[in-house]
Amino acid sequence: MADPVIVRATYRYNIPAAKVFDAWLTPSQAGRFLFATRTGNVLACEIEPEVGGGFTVTDRRPHADADESFYEAQHRGVYVELDRPNRLAFDFNVEPSASPPTRVTLDFVPLGVSITELVLTHNLGVGKDAEANEERTRQGWTNMLEQLNKVLTARSWGFKVPGGL
Element (H, E) at 78: strand 70-83
Question: Under 8 Å CB-to-CB from 87, ≥6 apart: which residues?
Answer: 81, 105, 106, 107, 108
Looking at residue 105, its pLDDT comes to: 98
Looking at residue 87, its pLDDT comes to: 98
- What is the rounded distance in angstroms from the CA atom of residue 143 to the CA atom of residue 118? 13
Residue 114: pLDDT band with limits 50, 70, 90: very high
Residue 165: pLDDT band with limits 50, 70, 90: very low
Q: Which of residues 87 and 1 earns the better pLDDT score?
A: 87
**Stated pTM of the model:** 0.87
Q: Which of residues 51 and 72 earns the better pLDDT score?
A: 51
Class of domain 5-153: alpha beta
